Amino acid sequence: MSKKSFFFLSGTIGVLFLIAGAGILSADQKYDIKAPNGLSFNDIKGYEAWQVVAPSYRTDKNEVRYILGNPVIIEAYKKGVPKTSPAFPNGSILVKVAYSEMKEPTFPPALVPDKLQRIEFMMRDSERFKDTGGWGYARFVYDSATDAYKPYGKDASFASECFQCHTLVKDRDYVFTKYPVR
């Protein structure tokens, strides 16, 4: 092989790796965004493979939701928290994936997920989030036109909005989602 051919081939391979690398980076771009309070999509990286805690449905928003839990909170639920302990352990994370609803075309009585609306999560860190019951909150609104997420809130005070609702379940360590019998 001539030097000219070698450099052409090397350059072509380099460009292909660069293009492939750019594709890999764009697939992970959502993990680079942060909520105004510093929580990041990186905090929940891999959530897509976490266990479903329970589905939920919000009648006021017409949303189908999946609540997912990281291994720390799943283990706590299995041990009976919040009934057996006053609080979930630090490191517990719940992720809510919210979709608009639609009637299943082949079976109209069924409501199924349609368009992704947002991803929200709450993370337990009793030292870091003392002002919100030991939980940090983040919300990322999905824009289907750009296939990207945008952090919710103008500043870190948005978390008090989340916490205000969660005070309704203070006796369950501020967690709405129960772990149903399996």
pLDDT per residue as tens digits for the range 64-87: 999 999 999 999 999 999 999 989
Residue 136 lies in a domain: yes
* 143: CB partners within 8 A, 6+ apart: 149, 150
Q: Check residue 30 and give its pLDDT.
A: 67
pLDDT per residue as tens digits for the range 5-21: 333 333 433 333 333 34
The Cα–Cα gap between 140 and 120 comes to 6
The Cα–Cα gap between 95 and 52 comes to 9
State which residues form the domain around 16.
Answer: 1-31
42 and 24 belong to one structural domain: no
87 and 124 belong to one structural domain: yes
Residue 182 lies in a domain: no
38 and 24 belong to one structural domain: no
70 and 108 belong to one structural domain: yes
Q: Which residues pair with 34 in a beta bridge?
A: 40
113 and 126 belong to one structural domain: yes
Among candidates 177, 111, 115, 118, which has minimal Cα distance to 150?
118
Report, in angstroms and rounded to the nearest whole number, the Rg of the chain calculated over CA atoms: 21
Residue 14 lies in a domain: yes
123 and 96 belong to one structural domain: yes
Residue 138 lies in a domain: yes
What number of CA atoms fall less than 13 Å from residue 69's CA on the CB side?
21
pTM metric for this prediction:
0.82
Q: What is the count of structural domains for the chain? A: 2
Residue 158 lies in a domain: yes
79 and 166 belong to one structural domain: yes
Q: Check residue 4 and give its pLDDT.
A: 43
Segments in 28-155 forming alpha helices (H): 71-78
74 and 111 belong to one structural domain: yes
Q: For each of the chain's 182 residues, which pLDDT tens digit applies?
A: 544 433 333 343 333 333 334 344 345 666 789 999 999 999 999 999 999 999 999 999 999 999 999 999 999 999 999 999 989 999 999 999 999 999 999 999 999 999 999 999 999 999 999 999 999 999 999 999 999 999 999 999 889 899 999 999 999 999 999 999 99
